[in-house]
């Protein structure tokens, strides 16, 4: 890829039966759009002068399928993201022009999938083929509604959030931007990614007006974060990238949409943010401008690195083909032409893993040492070693330095850099010890402390004393239970090496520290701290496994049985759906053949009553068509019944799961958690073990989630978790 790339701009015209060929014309090379607009004067006299504009873009795509459109527009950007290049695909245009259809597609048809589902499929397909690399993929879904940032996947569990609180756009040191507080969700398959996409789409805000019944009332940014690492251990570098798929809200004219109230307020915010986006594009297109107003709106700030930074950017301009919308079409094409003048600088986002880099450098050092050893051997210097010095070698160097300083050794033998460093370290240590001795000799003071063994004096604090420098008989004494401080005692040995009553204790001032014996409460605390690990209650995960095999075994069995029934019904639904699609295809094929027979019979002989004469093949085909329709109705009725059973089985599974969790909480609290009053009663008698308090003695000893609260929670459906809606495409 080149250092500078122009933003690729494609125009997609919404299919219509009333295409204005006299106003909109695209060239055969599919890169130029010509627009002619007839202007009328304000006076009564008509001014029939034609004003025309010519827009040359990267491509004009008309009457293309979703697959063909994706291959031409977004496929290369997705592959670049897997190589480490940031990518952005953005849809812009008037409301109702087909931006959401282009980006997301139609939910009722698998073939009508948009850019986002196809990009997800491409990413995981490429990951499966690139076996020499390991990939990690995370998803985020951001909505900008009325200049407010909203996390569309905030309700989904398992997300990773660096910062909590209100979402805000922040700039990173490298110039990139990120949204602080936006959750990142790891995904490992196409199905997981599609489930997150469907969950976010359900949380989007939509509205209705005269031009669009399902108009997006916010800007949405679906981001795929990709990290790629090579399996080669010697390679410490890895690449990261993010793929932004942006569905902008459509520009609207209140005179045409007829919006009022809340929808009108949303329209004002949308048009203002799109106006700020156009101002930023104008500034980026003008290379003489030094300042680009990215901070004017949340949209331009969030897309800062996508518009003019390190990114492969593609803009899709969705326009109408009708003459009634020619002014909005012209405005969209002008924006697209300005966007094409913007230049980006895509580059691979390389990073270095510090741990792998250290390992690589250590291996390189080892290789260099071996080469140096070989060179020394050839140069007849085989005794030189470049490994770290052993303890014996360090002790030998220390002895030689001391002899050198004492004058008994004339010279030091040096053979390697490690020896030089060790010798200088010993010299430094010797000089520091000499300076310390000089300081202690100049600041000597002696203070004598009378030592008496009386009980009254034992409670008095020890006075600070100053004495002689530490002698060779110095020893360190530590009192207390780990909380006391050290007292360094310096004494000259007499008969038995101890000081009796009336003897003197001498200590240096720099080594005097106060030590208090531990109190009685500390002794008790230390005794209670010696609780065996077996007395600590198990974690909830371990206890849950025990509960499922003991007290909750029956509930767990019922839950597993309900899950198996649900899985069986889902399989039956998939089989019925495939059969219905196959029968429907056969019905359409037979209808086409019957239509051909009908066209062939025109002008041929008829019966006495005027009815057409049918041959045997056509009669046989009619009978097959009738049987196929009967099978279709039968399978469709069975499918509806099976879907109802699936919903009921899901309800039973959720109910059993909630009952199992609630009963486990009660069992765990009753078995391992005791109130503070009971803990205070048994505190002095040793550690409390599960089961010391009978479960049926007193209701006050029960945990907050007891049977009573369980009945209340089971009696209401408000606390029941809602399962995520998953959509499985139907393939033929």
574 is written with which tokens?
A: 């998939």
User: Does the pLDDT value for residue 395 go beyond 60?
Assistant: yes
Read off the pLDDT of residues 92-124 as tens digits, 9 standing for 90 and up. 998 888 888 999 988 777 888 899 999 999 999
Q: Summarize the annotated binding site for ATP as residue ranges.
A: 93-100
| Of 87-96, 283-292, 471-480, highest mean pLDDT | 87-96
Distance CA 27, CA 34 (A): 8
21 is written with which tokens?
A: 């060929």
Q: Do 169 and 301 touch, CB atoms closer than 8 A?
A: yes
DSSP secondary-structure letter at 590? H
pLDDT band at 386 (very low <50, low <70, confident <90, very high): low
Full-model pTM: 0.52
Q: Summarize the annotated binding site as residue ranges.
A: 93-100
- Buried b / exposed e over 346-383, threshold 16 CB at 10 Å, is beebeeeeeebeeebeeeeeeeeeeeebeeeeeeeeee
Distance CA 693, CA 260 (A): 67
Give the residue-averaged pLDDT of 170-179: 83
Read off the pLDDT of residues 458-488 as tens digits, 9 standing for 90 and up. 444 433 333 333 333 333 333 333 333 333 3
User: Does the pLDDT value for residue 518 go beyond 90?
Assistant: no
Read off the pLDDT of residues 193-232 as tens digits, 9 standing for 90 and up. 999 999 998 888 776 665 666 677 889 999 999 999 887 7
- Length reported for the chain: 732
Distance CA 319, CA 53 (A): 15
Place of tokens 């690139």: 130
Q: Do 149 and 273 touch, CB atoms closer than 8 A?
A: no
Read off the pLDDT of residues 607-643 as tens digits, 9 standing for 90 and up. 555 566 677 888 888 888 989 999 999 989 999 989 9
426 is written with which tokens?
A: 């010993």
pLDDT of residue 163: 58
Place of tokens 């690492």: 229
Q: How far apart are the first and last CA of the chain?
A: 39
User: Does the pLDDT value for residue 414 go beyond 90?
Assistant: no
243 is written with which tokens?
A: 């793929």
Side-chain half-sphere of 352: how many Cα atoms within 13 Å? 6
> Residue 51, exposed/middle/buried by CB under 10 A (0-12, 13-18, 19+)?
exposed
pLDDT of residue 422: 87
pLDDT of residue 519: 44
What does the angle CA 619 – CA 622 – CA 623 come to, to the nearest 5 degrees? 90
Tell me how crowded residue 521 is: count the other CB atoms within 10 A of its CB. Answer: 8
């Amino acid at each position: 890829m080149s250092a500078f790339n122009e933003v690729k701009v494609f125009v997609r015209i919404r299919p219509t039966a009333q295409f204005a060929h006299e106003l909109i014309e695209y060239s055969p090379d599919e890169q130029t759009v010509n627009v002619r607009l007839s202007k009328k004067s304000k006076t009564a006299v008509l001014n029939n002068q034609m004003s025309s504009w010519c827009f040359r873009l990267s491509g004009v795509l008309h009457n293309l399928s979703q697959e063909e459109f994706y291959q031409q527009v977004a496929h290369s950007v997705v592959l670049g993201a897997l190589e480490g290049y940031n990518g952005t695909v953005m849809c812009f245009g008037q409301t109702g022009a087909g931006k959401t259809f282009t980006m997301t597609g139609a939910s009722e048809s698998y073939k009508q999938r948009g850019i986002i589902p196809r990009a997800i499929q491409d990413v995981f397909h490429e990951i499966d083929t690139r076996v020499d690399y390991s990939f990690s993929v995370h998803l985020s879904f951001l909505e900008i509604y009325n200049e407010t940032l909203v996390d569309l996947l905030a309700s989904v569990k398992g997300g990773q959030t660096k910062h909590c609180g209100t979402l805000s756009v922040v700039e990173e040191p490298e110039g990139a931007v990120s949204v602080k507080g936006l959750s990142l969700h790891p995904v490992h398959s196409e199905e997981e990614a599609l489930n997150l996409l469907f969950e976010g789409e359900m949380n989007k805000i939509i509205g209705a007006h005269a031009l669009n019944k399902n108009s997006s009332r916010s800007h949405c940014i679906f981001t795929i974060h990709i990290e790629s690492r090579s399996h080669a251990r010697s390679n410490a570098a890895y690449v990261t990238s993010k793929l932004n798929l942006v569905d902008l809200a459509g520009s609207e004219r209140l005179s045409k949409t007829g919006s009022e109230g809340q929808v009108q307020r949303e329209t004002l915010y949308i048009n203002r943010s799109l106006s700020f986006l156009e101002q930023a594009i104008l500034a980026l297109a003008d290379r003489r401008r030094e300042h680009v107003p990215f901070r004017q709106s949340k949209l331009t700030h969030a897309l800062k690195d996508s518009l003019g930074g390190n990114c492969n950017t593609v803009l899709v301009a969705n326009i109408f083909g009708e003459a009634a919308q020619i002014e909005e079409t012209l405005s969209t094409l002008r924006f697209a032409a300005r966007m094409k003048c913007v230049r980006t600088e895509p580059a691979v986002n390389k990073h270095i893993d510090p741990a792998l880099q250290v390992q690589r450098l250590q291996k390189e050092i080892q290789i260099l040492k071996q080469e140096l050893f070989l060179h020394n051997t050839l140069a007849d210097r085989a005794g030189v070693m470049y490994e770290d010095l052993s303890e014996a070698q360090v002790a030998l160097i220390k002895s030689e330095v001391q002899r050198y300083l004492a004058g008994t050794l004339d010279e030091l033998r040096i053979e390697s850099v490690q020896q030089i460093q060790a010798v200088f370290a010993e010299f430094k240590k010797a000089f520091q010890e000499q300076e310390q001795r000089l300081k202690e000799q100049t600041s000597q003071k002696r203070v004598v402390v009378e030592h008496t063994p009386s009980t009254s004096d034992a409670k008095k604090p020890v006075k600070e004393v100053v004495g002689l420098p530490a002698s060779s008989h110095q020893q360190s004494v530590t009192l207390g239970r780990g909380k006391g401080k050290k007292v360094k005692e310096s004494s000259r040995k007499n008969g038995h090496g101890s000081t009796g009553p009336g003897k003197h204790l001498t200590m240096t001032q720099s080594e005097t520290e106060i030590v208090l014996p531990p109190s009685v409460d500390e002794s008790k605390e230390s005794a209670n701290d010696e609780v065996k690990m077996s007395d600590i209650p198990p974690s909830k995960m371990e206890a849950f496994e025990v509960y499922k095999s003991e007290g909750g075994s029956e509930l767990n069995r019922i839950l597993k049985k309900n899950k198996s029934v649900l899985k069986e019904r889902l399989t039956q639904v998939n089989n019925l759906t495939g059969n219905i699609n196959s029968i429907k295809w056969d019905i359409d094929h037979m209808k086409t053949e019957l239509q051909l027979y009908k066209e062939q019979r025109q002008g041929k002989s008829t019966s006495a009553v005027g009815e057409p004469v049918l041959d045997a093949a056509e009669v046989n085909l009619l009978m097959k068509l009738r049987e196929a329709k009967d099978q279709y109705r039968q399978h469709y009725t069975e499918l509806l019944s099976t879907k109802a059973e699936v919903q009921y089985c899901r309800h039973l599974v959720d109910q059993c799961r909630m009952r199992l969790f609630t009963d486990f909480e009660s069992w765990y609290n009753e078995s391992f958690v005791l109130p503070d009053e009971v803990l205070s009663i048994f505190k002095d008698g040793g550690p409390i073990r599960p089961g010391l308090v009978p479960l049926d003695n007193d209701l006050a000893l029960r945990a907050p989630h007891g049977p009573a609260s369980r009945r209340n929670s089971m009696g209401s459906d408000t606390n029941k978790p809602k399962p995520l809606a998953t959509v499985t495409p139907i393939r033929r």
